[in-house]
Each structure stands twice: as C-alpha cells, then as structure tokens.
Structure 1
C-alpha cells in the first residue's frame, strides 16, 4: 500500500511537471513582443524552468473568443487591450484573477495601491500604458513639419497618403480632436448620433488617401517603404523604428489616445497554475521596469517608474518617450474603456459599412 501511494504521488508530480513545463503566451509580435520576451519570458523560464512559447496575433482578443466558445483553448496567457479584457470578462470567456496573489511593489506599497488606478480588474492585470499617436517621415516634411492632430487630416498643406488602423477605436476620437473638439468633450460627443456622424465626416475627408493597417508592425514599415507620408501607430513601434533602427520618423503626441493593456487568462487555459505564476511574475515592479528598457510604454506600477532608466542602447532616456510624460499629456485623451466595451460592436459595424461604401 505504501509503495502504491509513493508511486501514485510520483506519477502525479511527474504529470503536473510535464503539463507545467510549457505555457503559450499570445501577444502582438514585433518590437513589443521582443520587449516581453526579454523582460518577462526569458527571466520567468530562468526562474521556474517553464518554457514560454510565444504566439503572435493581430489582435489576441479575437482568437480567445473563438477558442473558448469552441472548447479548444490552446492559449494560457494573452496580452489584450483594456476594453477587450473588460468585454471578454463580462462574457465569461476569461479566468478571474485574485488580486491578493499579486506581490507588493518593490518599495513595499501594497499591490492594489501600487498599480495605476483601475489597472487591475476581475480578469486583467495591466502591464503597460500605450498610446495611438501619429508619426511622419522627417525627410518628407523637412521644411514645414506637422505638429498637431489637425495637420494629419490636412491633405492640402501636408500632401501624401495616410496610414490608419482598420477599425473604429482611436480613429473616431482622433477625427473629432482634429475637428476641434477638446479631449475632455470627445466621449460626450460620441455618445450622440451627431457626434458619431461628425467623426465619420472628418474621416471621409481623407478616406481616399488612406492605407489601412491591422498589425502593429505595419505602420513603421509603411513609412519606411514610402507608402504613406504619415500614419497613426502605437507609440512604441515608432520609437523602436526611430531610436532602435535609426529611421527618420517623428512621433507627435498631440491628440494621442492612451490606454491600458495587459495579461488575461482564457477560460479553460490548459496550464492554469503556471499561467497564474507567469502573470504574477511578469507584473512585478522590476519586470515592468525592465520592459521599459526595450520599448517606450509606461509601466503600470507606480513603483516601477523610478527604475525606468535608459533604453537598451545605454544612452537614450526613456522617460520623455513615454505616453505618460507630462509634456506628452498636454493634449492627450485617455481611452474610455466603458464606452468601447459597450459600443465596440455597433461602431465597428458602422465603420465597416462606411469603409465598404
């Protein structure tokens, strides 16, 4: 009996060990994916022995819904935008994450006081603050560079193709700000039919000059290839192209729309315990600060801020390149996750109809 018990225990331990030796983390790829591999995946594997398999998607929220509803979940952890996390959680497609498992900040601040306001929800632990900005090639507009979101829509003064993400979110907000709406009034305006009409009318003024993008790696490539003169983009992607690769690209934070992004665990994740361990590790003070060495996204913990220093080149101060730098927030708009959790489907249906029209 004793031998049987020992054997059973050993087999159980082996089975768990095998199941937890590998987890699959889905994210957005490119420079952002590299920042996560360096700051989270590699040190997690070094610490635990658990291999992290990286999988890329244009938007990881989409396969989560499909996999959970099909009962065939292969993702353990996914990186998603805040509004998508709220919506997926409301739909019962994500595991809930007990905030008590999150460690205190490196300075001893309790976790829930250390994370930025609202950064931890029932199903999400935020890792970064990122923003949708616009950028241009300085060699194209050397004499009269654009400085405001209104300039992005001004094809007469600044001729050339424009890159825009293929979707409603951020485009509607930026269109209204370009049309003179103050950032603090944008969502009140979008709650009305007239406001939505106004946003689409503004987008209509450049529609024929737009090249649509879907993956975060595309905008810097569109600029590099000369396919567009300006493009909206995730700020970290342009930073990587400009500072990391020496491209002549300039980021304009005027009219930026910034938001949270972080980790969720799909309902029925095959390696739940290891997935939770990964989320806890990745969202510690030091790891969030480490990611900021690789890409210019602001860490979601306050205690990470003082640890953010130089880019991997050893000379570029990361602080001024963050969406949350004081100077960059002057004409910025925080994305309203409640608005998009409620209106995403409806407004994207209208967007797609407008695009096809």
Structure 2
C-alpha cells in the first residue's frame, strides 16, 4: 500500500479541517481508493458541501495513538472487519445502522463497522503455462507434483483468507473451519515452500504475476481485477471452488470531531448506487447485497457475491479473528521468516 496520501481537494494538506470538513482514511493510491473518491466522496461533497480530504494509509496503530492522545484528526476509516469487532467502544464509536443493516450479507454488520467492500481469495493460474490441463481444485495450488510451477501469495497479514484457503484445500469442511487449525494450515504451505514466493505487498504480488514470475496465485479479488485490467489476461480464475470471503468496513474513530457527519457519510456510501459504482470502479464485490452486480466482464468474473457463487462463499469469522489475530499473525510471521 502506498504511503503517499491522496487529496480530494487539490492543493489541500491533511489537517484537522473546519466545521464543514471530514477526513476519510483509506489505503493509498490505486483503483480502490480512486473508486471510493469517485463513487462516494465526490458525490457526497457535491450534495452536502462538505469538504472531504483523503488521508492514509489506514493504520490501527496510528488510530490507537490518536485516540489515546485525544488528538483525533480522522473521521471515517476504511479498515478490516475484525478491527471493528475488536475495538468497538474503545477506539471506535458505535454506528446505528439499524435503518439500513438489512442491505448487507448476514453477519457482516457490527456495532461499530458498516461493510464497505467484499473480497474473495481467488485461485488464479497462467493459462499459457497449463494450457489444456488447468487446475480445477483449490488443492491443486498445494500440489507441486500435479501442477509444477511458481506460486505467489501475499506474505503480510494472513486474515484475508490465506490460512482458510489452505485448510479448505486440505479437506476441512467450510462449516468446521473455525477455530482455525493454524499448525495444520502451515503444514499445508510446507508442501509448496520451495515453489512459494511471499510477496511483500499486494502491488508486488500483482507485478510478479504480470511479469511472468509466477504461474499460480492466491490473490484477493480487488488485486485480481487490477491485474486483469492492466492487460495480464493470460491469468484465469479457477471456477467452482470454495472461496474465502473477507470484507472491509467503515468506522468512526472515538473522538472524531464530527461523528454525526461521519455516520452520515457512511450511510450515503452504503446506498445501492454508491455501492455499485464503487464495485465497478475498484473490482470489489459491492457490500450492499441489493446493489446491481458489477457490469464489466472482469468484475462479473471476480464477483464473489454473484448468484453462481452462492455455494462457494466461505465467510470469515471476524469475531474469531478479533480474538486471535495477534497470535495467528505472529505464527504466520514466524513461519514466513523461519
């Protein structure tokens, strides 16, 4: 994720702002943040006259420091769903989304977090490598004998479905996935360790795939969308397989200067039109389940909430991740560096 901030208002610097301003925090330059700007922030600014500045990257550590110092300059933050579950009432303000909570997939709305985007952990392969013998099962990613080749996954935070994919591939039923058997998941990755590259960033993973440095990949759908749009159309999605699903949420930091306006922006972003526009621009699944599905061919191919994927979705247990993230991230980090 880029460390440079992007500003909605040209020439403005990130600051605490005035009575008619909000600071929106996202992940840095790219289709994802640009989609938020075009689908949510520009229209909201035009409708309300509120000046919106984008800051970033989203960081729980920075948010915690702001709240504890009582110097909060952020108003709306895009973050992982488990962060909202773990910090509701301490770092985050409650959001009363009862009037529109039924727009979202069951179990995805929390007291302090409103879904922003859905992501599938997609299994993709380079068709130029495998020709008429493509992978057809999630287990094929972890089978270097049947499918020799270079693998790549994002090596950072594994809560995006990295461990869930390994356990599903190893035969764990979706309804018995949690609590995650982390040692078993790591042992599945041991099978491909000599063939596996751990990308330092999502951008690095995408570049390796586009540059011919990988043959198979587990990649979040938003990055898969960027990959295909960039012209790397030799990469194909393995259809009809279990797919871990995670989501980001919009939250209001405790101590925001304008919490009511922040909640209003979140409500606006949750509308059908806004959700659909963001999904089309960023290649994510629209969080609003009543929104029209993505219109582009790549968007439809990667839409984890499409009707044809109903039996394939395996939703993350965000409460389990909220309680276990630190331990699991440490175990994953030890494995990746050991």
TM-score under structure 2 length normalisation: 0.84
Q: Separation in 1 of the partners of 2:123 and 2:309?
A: 13
The CA deviation string for residues 30-59 of structure 1, in whole angstroms up to 9 with x for no partner, is 2222221111121112212223322343x6
Q: Deviations over 1:271-293 (max 9, x none)?
A: 43432232121112221122122
For 1:139, the equivalent position in structure 2 comes to 128
Structure (1/2) with the larger helix percentage: 1
- Kindly provide the CA deviation profile for residues 222-256 of structure 1, in whole angstroms up to 9, marking residues without a partner as x: 20122222222111221232146453221235232
Residue 117 of structure 1 is matched in structure 2 by 106
Deviation at 1:308?
3.4
Task: Provide the C-alpha distance between the structure 2 equivalents of 1:175 and 1:326, rounded to a whole number of angstroms.
Answer: 25
Pair 201,309 (structure 1): closer, same or farther in 2 beyond 3 Å:
closer
User: Does structure 1 conserve the Cα–Cα contact (< 8 Å) formed by 2:23 and 2:55?
Assistant: no
Counterparts of residues 4-15 of structure 1 (less than 5 Å): none
User: How far apart, in 2, do the equivalents of 1:238 and 1:98 lie?
Assistant: 33
In the other structure, the counterpart of 1:27 is 27
1:262 aligns with 2:249: yes
Unaligned residue ranges in structure 2 (runs of 5+): 1-15
CA offset at residue 257 of structure 1? 0.6
Secondary structure of the residue aligned to 2:242 is strand
After superposition, the Cα gap between the structure-2 partners of 1:261 and 1:22, relative to the gap in structure 1 and judged at 3 Å, is closer
SS in 2 for 1:128: strand
Instruction: Note if contact 1:23-1:76 (Cα within 8 Å) is conserved in structure 2.
Output: yes
Aligned to 1:296: 283
State whether residues 75 and 258 of structure 2, in contact with CA within 8 Å, keep that contact through their aligned partners in structure 1: yes
Q: CA deviation at 1:204?
A: 1.4
| Secondary structure of the corresponding residue to residue 294 of structure 1 | helix
Which residue in 2 is equivalent to 1:339?
Answer: 320
Contact 2:294 2:303 (8 Å CA) reproduced: no
Match of 2:220 in 1: 234
Superposition CA RMSD, Å: 2.6
1:222 lines up with 2:220 in the alignment: no
Count of residues paired in the alignment: 320
CA distance in 2, matches of 1:76, 1:291: 20
Q: Which residue of 1 aligns with 2:60?
A: 61
Q: Which runs of 5+ in 1 are unaligned?
A: 1-15, 101-109
In the TM superposition, what is the alpha-carbon distance from 1:155 to its structure 2 partner? 1.8
Query: 1:348 corresponds to which residue?
Result: 329
Quick check: which has more Rg, 1 or 2? 1
Kindly provide the CA deviation profile for residues 182-210 of structure 1, in whole angstroms up to 9, marking residues without a partner as x: 2222225x2xxxx3322111111222332
Shift in Å at residue 28 of structure 1? 5.5
Q: Distance in 2 between matches of 1:69 and 1:134?
A: 41
- The answer as to whether partners of 1:20 and 1:274 remain within 8 angstroms in 2 is no
Q: Distance in 1 between matches of 2:158 and 2:17?
A: 44
Q: Tell me, in whole angstroms, the C-alpha distance in 1 between the residues paired with 2:37 and 2:250.
A: 14
Give the SS at the match of 1:140: helix
User: Equivalents in 1 of 2:298, 2:208: separation in Å?
Assistant: 27
The answer to whether residue 149 in structure 2 is matched with residue 150 in structure 1 is no
Determine whether 1:37 maps to 2:28: no
Of the three residues 273, 276, 281, the one matched with 1:286 is 273
Give the TM-score normalised by the residue count of structure 1.
0.80
Q: Secondary structure at the match of 2:213?
A: coil
Match of 1:93 in 2: 91
Cα distance in 1 for residues equivalent to 2:233 and 2:71: 42
> Within 2, Cα distance between the matches of 1:339 and 1:95?
21
